[in-house]
């Protein structure tokens, strides 16, 4: 089977796939829709990061595609609903780069508090500007975290460790870590915070979450950080509040429109502003995080393709079937309606197949059942299973655990 890896996915992923017998092709940049459609011919697994968009049109034009690996946290760059309808598994790395993002944000908080971006630029320009004006310690100041998930909670812990007070707001019911204080509304958090850091996901409802109205409600002299999603923030409104002096600084790692490849021109209304840190979507780009992501996602994809395991898939029912030496494995993804399992087992029984193991799970509109028999099932029986009412996709393997 062929694997296509885009956007400089870590080489450890290539090694994992090749070790399992896959044919691997790599490309350094992202691809547009038409380019991706062409590149996916004959491809069973595609690995992407945040810049490649796997749209409905791409999915419909890729009949050989069985799985998508998002070598990052987010999956909003994939049409998950349509991928699910087509029975294409999607996997990501929800935890692997958490520490890297948090360390970047902590570094930015400290740098902005001391106005290091403008200090270092003036030194490079040959200007000796030794002044304490506008430079502060972070100890005792309030960090407001918007989005208290994996990254938000670890940031909360680290910020407290350097002496900051922490407030957070999340639409979900989250347990506060340490001495962090949950705020009743976003407005309340903005009024209290010296630093506001966004850590929300890429769901459509978060588009435009932070604009002129929210910036206006922040404390005078506060700092703003976005290491979540570019589409969440109105960068033009942020520019205005930086230039007016209402905000004393900002650090932005993600943008509404980002270059597709290394070295491409970067455009933003935030370029050239004092005490503004701009980074090229590198929150999770450390050697440690990228290696961990490469290992984690490639292992999950390999287990899915080779064994039918869907553990930690973002869109398929969670099934982790036990390995059975010499067994013939049948994996059927189906619509979640009553009677499918009975139809499967009746078809197998009528064919004289001896079932030695079976795992089933459902998730929303889908069900997924993995059945092991002690011998091969005839092509005629498999064809009957493919035509079981509500079947979406069927795969078969001969289990060999000696490899």
**Catalytic positions, written as ranges:** 229, 258, 281
36: tokens are 């991706």
Question: Is residue 400 packed enough to be buried (19+ CB in 10 Å), middle (13-18) or exposed (0-12)?
Answer: exposed
Decide: helix, strand or coil at residue 79: coil
d(C-alpha 28, C-alpha 7), whole Å: 5
Decide: helix, strand or coil at residue 153: helix
Per the CB < 8 A criterion, the answer to whether 247 and 222 are in contact is yes
d(C-alpha 249, C-alpha 354), whole Å: 68
How many other CB atoms sit within 10 Å of the CB of residue 159?
25
Rounded to 5 degrees, what are φ and ψ at 232? -75, -25
Per the CB < 8 A criterion, the answer to whether 236 and 244 are in contact is no
Question: Is residue 270 packed enough to be buried (19+ CB in 10 Å), middle (13-18) or exposed (0-12)?
Answer: middle
- Across the beta sheet with 2-5, the strand order is 23-26, 2-5, 45-48, 67-70, 89-91
Decide: helix, strand or coil at residue 94: coil
d(C-alpha 341, C-alpha 328), whole Å: 18
d(C-alpha 275, C-alpha 133), whole Å: 13
């Amino acid at each position: 089977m062929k694997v296509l890896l885009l956007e400089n996915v870590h080489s450890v992923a290539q090694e994992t796939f090749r070790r399992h017998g896959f044919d691997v092709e790599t490309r350094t940049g992202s691809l547009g829709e038409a380019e991706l459609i062409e590149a996916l011919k004959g491809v069973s697994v595609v690995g992407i990061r945040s810049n490649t968009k796997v749209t409905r049109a791409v999915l419909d034009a890729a009949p050989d595609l069985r799985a998508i690996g998002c070598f990052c946290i987010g999956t909003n760059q994939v049409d998950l609903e349509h991928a699910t309808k087509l029975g294409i598994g999607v996997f990501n790395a929800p935890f692997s780069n958490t520490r890297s993002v948090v360390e970047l944000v902590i570094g930015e908080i400290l740098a902005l508090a001391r106005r290091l971006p403008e200090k270092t630029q003036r030194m490079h320009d040959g200007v000796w500007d030794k002044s304490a004006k506008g430079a502060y310690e972070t100890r005792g100041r309030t960090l407001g975290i918007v989005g208290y998930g994996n990254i938000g909670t670890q940031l909360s812990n680290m910020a407290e460790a350097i002496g900051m007070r922490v407030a957070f707001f999340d639409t979900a019911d989250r347990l506060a870590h340490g001495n962090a204080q949950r705020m009743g509304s976003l407005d309340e958090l903005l009024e209290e915070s010296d630093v506001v850091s966004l850590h929300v996901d890429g769901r459509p409802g978060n588009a435009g979450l932070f604009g002129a109205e929210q910036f206006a409600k922040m404390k005078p002299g506060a700092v703003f950080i976005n290491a979540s999603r570019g589409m969440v923030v109105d960068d033009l409104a942020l520019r205005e509040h930086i230039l007016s002096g209402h905000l004393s600084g900002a650090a932005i790692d993600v943008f509404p429109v980002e270059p597709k490849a290394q070295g491409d021109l970067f455009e933003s209304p935030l370029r050239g502003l004092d005490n503004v840190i701009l980074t090229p979507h590198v929150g999770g780009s450390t050697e440690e995080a990228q290696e961990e992501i490469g290992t984690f996602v490639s292992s999950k994809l390999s287990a899915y393709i080779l064994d039918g395991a869907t553990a930690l898939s973002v869109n398929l029912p969670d099934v982790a079937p036990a390995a059975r030496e010499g067994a013939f494995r049948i994996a059927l993804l189906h619509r979640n309606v009553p009677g499918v399992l009975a139809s499967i087992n009746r078809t197998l029984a009528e064919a004289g197949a001896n079932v030695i193991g079976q795992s089933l799970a459902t998730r929303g509109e889908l069900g997924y059942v993995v059945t092991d028999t002690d011998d091969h099932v005839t092509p005629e029986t498999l064809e009957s299973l493919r035509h079981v009412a509500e079947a979406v996709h069927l795969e078969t393997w001969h289990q060999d655990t000696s490899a």
